[in-house]
Structure 1
Amino acid sequence: MASRADQDQRVYSRSYLTKLRVAEAMDRLCAAMPFARVRIEDIVRESGVSRSNFYHNFSDKNAVVTWIAEQCHANGIFRIGRDLTWFEGHMITTRDMARFRTLFNSAAGSTEYAAAEPYFVRARQHNLVETLTDYQHRAIDEQLAFQIEAWPHCELVMAGKFRAGALPYGLKAFCNYLVAMTPRELYEALEHPVANAAPGELAELR
């Protein structure tokens, strides 16, 4: 008989794959219509996920965008200063978000509180504070606090321009330029991770 841990892992995996299927379906739908016109009925039909299963995993379509963005951020930039450098974190997140470029581009610009972009700014600000205080054990002075408040807005705008094809750079050049414009105090505080990433995880980025 499977252990409880094995059962929990299967449940988690099914939930993750269901959410991923929904996000992929929305990416396809946004290639054919604006995000604002996508209905839950469209998502259910395109993904093959039942309406009840959709609402079991997501509150609305904004939550789908937020969820897939969270996966990309958690794998990359939210780890900067923990076990990734600035360049490594931006490379991973920018690469992963490019796989859902159509969805993110179509959903961009929404100012609803639950929309993905305002959510990212709040989550990124919290992430920077947490990394500085809990991982780097650094006090946050007034200048650093201002940079924490401002920098996520810049990351959001520039990453959006890159995904939309509005910048004439490849992936590595874009990430290098983004790192170069990071506020100096914030950059120096987080450039040296407190732990090492998993062996082999970063090989393809170099």
Structure 2
Amino acid sequence: MSYRIICPGAWAKSLTKGSVPEFGHVAHALVVLFTLTNIDVLLARVFLSEADSGEYSVGVLLAKIAFFLPNAIIIVLFPKMTSGDNRRAVFIATGLTACMGLGITLFSLLFGSFVIRILGGSQYIDLGLGSSAWRFALEGSAFALVQVLLYARLAAQDRRAVVLVWAGLIALVTSVSLWFHNSVEEIVTTVVVISLVLTVIGLLLDRRSSISGTVMEPIEIAE
């Protein structure tokens, strides 16, 4: 069902009433994920000065690169995640996304000033953003893993996954609003911590599901 919803061409001729609730659930999950991965920019604008907010926006460009680069992995492997034996597809998608994220983060750690110069200009290097580039790269990489794991649970028709994303969103807004909003480093570090916690919990839940032996029936694809 999830495959039909996220890949409209597969079900355009065979949409049934039973698809509507599933479509609503998938749309809801993706909207919450979109909010989670973008709310930090709004929080930075609210709590930081204009200069620091601009600095944060440049760093977020790197986070978005790290977040969107692995999307091709999901596009290729999501149909396999909907099969009866989806463990291999989830393992490959998670591993490839993690490796790509580590590579981007390591590159940003070693050549942070170079990356920031390309994204925002040399003036942001003078502000010290280069030393924080790896944090933004790690943020985007962790969110990319969260996205992979969310898609894996959607493919398995597990409605509990969106609850975890909601919890992360609430924790992020609360933490930044009440405590960690005095600098660029505080906000991005908070986002990194929450995204990594979500990743670990998501991996544990996925592992627990596989150990429990819950295997979904293969999804029929409309011709």
Q: Same fold (TM over 0.5)?
A: no
In terms of fraction of residues, the more helix-rich structure is 2
TM-score, normalised relative to structure 2: 0.33
Higher relative contact order (CA 8 A, sep 6+): 2
TM-score, normalised relative to structure 1: 0.35
